[in-house]
Each structure stands twice: as C-alpha cells, then as structure tokens.
Amino acid sequence: MRIGVMCSGSGTNFENIVTQCYNHEVVVMIHNIKNCGAIERAKRLDVPYFRCKSTEDDKLISILKSYKVDLIVLAGWMRIVSPKFINSFKRIINVHPSLLPKYKGLNAIGQSLESGDSITGCTVHYVTEELDSGEIIEQSVVNICSGDTMETLTQRVQQAEHRLLPMVINNLGES
C-alpha cells in the first residue's frame, strides 16, 4: 500500500509506520503545525512532506491524490477533517488515545484519569464525519496505576499506539 500520514506533533507514530510497516511505503507526510517534530523525522527518513492548514481541503486532497495513496493515516492529526476530505478517499484511519467510544475528542487521557478509571488505552478506527465514531478496527488496553500522572499515563498510551498502529496497517494491507 501507498500510505499518506497526517500529523501535528512530534511524529513518533509517523516514524513507527515508516519503520514497522515493511510491506508498505509511506509516500508523503502532511503536517499542520509549522515547526512540529515530524518534519525532522520526515527529513531523516527521506519522506516528502508538506504543510497544510486543516482548512485547506483542496490542497490536502490534491497532495494526497498526487501521491496516489491507498491509505491515509491520521497519526496525531489534531484537527477535524471535513466531509469533503473524508469523501475524497476510500480508506482513512485514525489512532485515538482512549478506548472508544469513551472520551472522544481532545484530552481523552486526562478525562480517563479524572474519572478514576482503572483502564484506558488506544483505538484505531475508520474516519467518518462524526468525530471519533467510525468503525473500530482494533484497541489496546493500558492499565491506569495508582501513581499515574498525565505524563506517565500518556507515555504508556503512546507506547501502546506505537505497537497497535503498525499492526493494524500491516493487517489492512493483507485484506
């Protein structure tokens, strides 16, 4: 598969996809934050990258179509994508830091801590027009420990994402 990755942050999930999805090629990375860490990773990994605002639908669509992507992965893309964008592609997946349908949207890890939950985790799901509501592909559970802080729990959820997302992509490539 030819994969396009969209991210807003440090790019750890982006790098994991590049290095762990052996039978697939990440052909382009799009970021929406000017100096995000994903840029340096793209340079080091020799993956073409572009900056687009989340409101620039036509530009996003044009870039991804020009690279003939088979799959788009939202890997820390911290903006809602438009119906026009969603309807322009067959397969878009997202990784979300909660066990959906619990804690959709922002601050999911904080919500799980504040609620006193004993578990949280991450979910890979298909992207639909309703926020974090597409069909769930796979989930990974992370235990919440009594001494957890936002930092420690976020780190463990990200580690679970780093395992889950490449596994899902590799399995999608086989289907």
Task: Tally Cβ neighbours within 10 Å of residue 88.
Answer: 18
What's the CA gap between 103 and 116, in Å, rounded?
13
Q: Catalytic annotation on 96?
A: yes
Tokens matching residue 81: 């994508």
Paired tokens of 4: 């396009």
Report the distance separating Cα 114 and Cα 93, nearest Å: 27
Longest dimension (CA), the chain: 49
Q: Where are the beta strands (DSSP E) in 82-169?
A: 92-96, 119-126, 136-143
DSSP count for the chain of H helices, then E strands? 6, 7
Catalytic hit among 24, 96, 125, 162:
96
The catalytic residues are 96
